[in-house]
Amino acid sequence: MIKKKKVNLRDIDNHQHSGEVSDDDCGSCCGNHESEKSSKVLSPYLPAIISFVLLLGGIALDIFNVLFFTDWVRVVWYSIAYVPVGFPVMKQGWKSIVNGDFFTEFLLMSIATIGAFAIGEYPEGVAVMLFYAVGELFQHSAVTKAKGNIKALLDVRPKSATVLRNGDMFSVAPEAVKIGERIQVRLGEKVPLDGKLLSEKASLNTAAISGESKPSTIAQGEKVFAGSINLDGVIEVEVTKEFKDSSIARILDMVQNATARKSKTELFIRKFARIYTPIVVFLAIGLTLLPYFFVEEYIFRDWLYRALIFLVISCPCALVISIPLGYFGGLGAASRNGILFKGASFLDTITKINTLAMDKTGTVTKGVFKIKEIVLHADSEESGESLSEKDFMDYLMAIEAQSTHPIAKAILEYKEEGASSKAKDVFEIAGKGLVGIVAGKSVLVGNKALMVANGITVPKETEAVVESIVMIAVDRKFLGYVVISDELKDGAEAAIEKIRKTGVSKIVMLSGDKDAITQKVAKELHVDWAKGGLLPEDKLNEVEKLKDISGAKVAFIGDGINDAPVLAASDVGIAMGGLGSDVAIETADVIIQTDQPEKVAQAIQIGKSTRKIVWQNIALAFGVKALVMILGAVGMATMWEAVFADVGVALLAILNAVRLQNMKWD
């Protein structure tokens, strides 16, 4: 029986995460950024609906020249239409002034619409503010959609853990579970903490944290990550990390804070808007008053109207809304595809990469040794008969069963039940191999140096083998060897071609594995050049050399553990398999959660799509605003054109940014 225990869970969803487009960025005039209860779904739209109905009614009464609709009645009617959408803007503008921020879009819109009322252009004053409010509603909807991918990640956060204590099961907060404790996860539940599987096997859905839709089958003793969903029966897990150090907690923290690192474009636009807005206000004042000294028939009302149009057009909403939204959309789209950028700045930087350096083991290869070939020596005989592969492997497995080396593990996978014989008196000769007794016979298992040291002749054919090779001799007689190699990841070669198509002109391989193996893998993948036998500091030196080449922008892909120094030094550090590596999350700029090399090309494509949309919005906003601004200054544009130049362009820019949410990258 599970005993329920009340606990206070920290609600991550209530945290203000900087990955959101903030109210300051969006210029929200209606306060619509706070989530509403379902019973109040219409509340954000009511002010706009009321103003819209009253505006249409007023225009109709004007057109049909209804007798009572004159003078003060007309002023009151349009004032009532103005208040629902105008008051929130003016209130926000006043708050900004109190906080020391005088020149904001709220001030521009307030001055422009109040000015329109002052010169008797009531319908236009209401229309400007109404369309501004409608634009804010569209923007709110766009931000909500963009938040969807991040919210999906936040929802992955487990809310409780069922832990075994003193023979009973207790439901507690994940934060209350300690390392080493045993937790139970039932069918359909989320794994609350990182751990080691105690059950025989488990089928887990890791889509929400890795982007991988295919369920993962985990064997006893293997790692299990928090946020995975149990798909098959009840499983038990031994906790290996506290919740604050778990993969899902650290990924959530990284995603929540991703947009804290603004791109250079975004930072420039924000600074530009703060300088640009006061300039616009003073230009509008000048446009109203200066013509008095240069124009013969100066009419104050006409020049004030032009200045008001100028103010509406010049409102920087399209820029300060759509550009952060564009980068936010790019970050969300990337996370949906199992790619985590640590900030918008890296979405920009990755588009400039022209040189790619990569590690070999665990990056383009699986990092798991497998038996590639078993070669029995032609002259090997036992009791006058040729040695069978089964007997050969029995000797080898009996000795390797005493070793913890990764190559030993690969050999022991040859037969599930292990060797039929047992080895004794096994000892290791450092750098050479193992020696022991199997079935009363002296057995040597290791490299060529071990064989030569014991006076055993090794066939010359072994010199042509570049992969790792394990030789065996029994009673000082050479029996044969096993070739052990790491396998290329599925689609590794295709991934390199995709990366080249994104504009990366030079691809190199830097590996700690021996040079012969590195060169062989590099040849299979058609990379430009490769070096093996490198220590971490050697890799760092090679990347520094690449960066010294004029115009080079270098990205490095590694496993995030041995490659931490070079990941930090490169222009963009990309970690493969970030879920299992703490160092990857700490050091890399981009993390490929699914461990798939082709995701690197996808990351570059997402960066380029984001940058393209951002610059499209900048060109659209400046182009249309400049044109209508000039027309307004010379009296060829009305307030209606100004509304399109401001709100219309902002809406188009927002819709353009939202396209990122629906894009697909191969």
Q: Among residues 25, 194, 348, 359, which one is catalytic?
A: 359
- Check the CA dihedral 662-345-29-639 and report its sign: negative
Cβ neighbours for 504, distance < 8 A, ≥ 6 positions apart: 353, 354, 355, 356, 555, 604
Q: Residue ranges of the alpha helices (H) in 401-438?
A: 406-412
Cβ neighbours for 452, distance < 8 A, ≥ 6 positions apart: 458
Exposed/middle/buried for residue 223 (C-beta within 10 Å: 0-12, 13-18, 19+): middle
Distance, in Å, from the CA atom of 166 to the CA atom of 295, rounded to the nearest integer, reads: 92
Residue type, 557: I
Contact of 514 with 542, CB cutoff 8 Å: no
Q: Which residues pair with 170 in a beta bridge?
A: 3, 163
Which 8-state DSSP code applies to residue 94?
Answer: H
Contact of 355 with 502, CB cutoff 8 Å: no
359 is catalytic: yes
Provide DSSP, 141-197: HHHHHHHHHHHHHHHHS---EEEEETTEEEEE-GGGPPTT-EEEE-TTPBP-S-EEE
Distance, in Å, from the CA atom of 644 to the CA atom of 650, rounded to the nearest integer, reads: 9
Please give the structure tokens belonging to residue 657.
């940014």
Cα-based distances in Å from 445 to 34, 406, 471: 68, 15, 6
Contact of 150 with 206, CB cutoff 8 Å: no
Order of all β-strands in the sheet with 365-376: 365-376, 477-488, 468-474, 441-446, 433-438, 423-429
In the block, tokens 């306060």 appear at 31
Contact of 618 with 585, CB cutoff 8 Å: no
Q: Strand, coil or helix: what is 373?
A: strand
Order of all β-strands in the sheet with 229-230: 216-219, 201-205, 229-230
Length of the chain: 666
Active site residues: 359
